[in-house]
Amino acid sequence: MKKFVFLGLLYPYEREDEIRENMIVNISNAPNVFQWNLLHGIQKLVGSKLSVVNVLPVGIWKRQYRKFFLNDSDWKSKGVLGHEIGSINLPFLKQWQRSVKIKKYLKTVADENTEIILYSAYMPFLKAVYKFPKNIKITAIITDLPDYYDLGQTSSIRKFLRSVQNRMIKRYLKRIDRFVVLTKQMCEPLEVGDRPWVCVEGICDAEQKVISNEKNDKHIIFYSGTLHYQYGIKNLLDAFSLMENENIQLWICGGGEAKAEIELLAQKDNRVKFYGFCTQSEVAELRNQADILVNPRPNEGEYVKYSFPSKTMEYMASGKPVVMYKLDGIPDEYDRYLNYVNPFGDKSTQFAAALQEVIYKYDDALKKAEEAREFVIKNKNAVCQAQKILDLTGVINE
Residues 6+ apart with CB under 8 A from 355: 221, 239, 240, 243, 292, 294, 323
User: Is 349 a member of any domain?
Assistant: yes
> 7 and 117 in contact (C-beta within 8 Å)?
yes
User: Is 208 a member of any domain?
Assistant: no
Q: What CATH number is given to the structural domain containing 364?
A: 3.40.50.2000
The answer to whether residues 253 and 361 belong to one domain is yes
The answer to whether residues 387 and 369 belong to one domain is no
List residues bridging with 224 in a β-sheet.
253
Residues 6+ apart with CB under 8 A from 39: 6, 8, 50, 52, 78, 80
The answer to whether residues 163 and 301 belong to one domain is no
The answer to whether residues 8 and 150 belong to one domain is yes
Structural domains of the chain, count: 2
The tens-digit pLDDT sequence of the chain (398 residues) is 789 999 999 998 888 889 989 998 877 788 998 999 999 999 999 999 999 999 999 999 999 999 999 999 999 998 899 999 999 999 999 999 999 999 999 999 999 899 999 999 999 999 999 999 999 999 999 999 988 776 555 678 878 888 888 899 999 999 999 999 999 999 999 999 999 999 999 999 877 777 665 566 789 999 998 899 989 999 999 999 999 999 999 999 998 899 999 999 999 999 999 999 888 889 999 999 999 999 999 999 888 899 898 889 999 999 999 999 999 999 999 999 999 999 999 999 999 999 999 999 999 999 999 999 999 999 999 999 999 999 998 765 54
User: Is 398 a member of any domain?
Assistant: no
Predicted pLDDT at 398: 47
User: Is 209 a member of any domain?
Assistant: no
CB burial readout 195-228, b (16+ within 10 A) else e: eebbbbbbbbbbebeeeeeeeeeebbbbbbbbbb
What's the Cα-to-Cα distance from 198 to each of 178, 195, 205, 247, 382, rounded to whole Å?
A: 8, 10, 20, 45, 15
The answer to whether residues 389 and 351 belong to one domain is no
Segments of 264-362 assigned E as strands? 272-274, 292-295, 322-324, 339-340
- Print the domain residue range for 105: 3-203+381-393
Residues in the chain: 398
The answer to whether residues 386 and 310 belong to one domain is no
User: Is 73 a member of any domain?
Assistant: yes
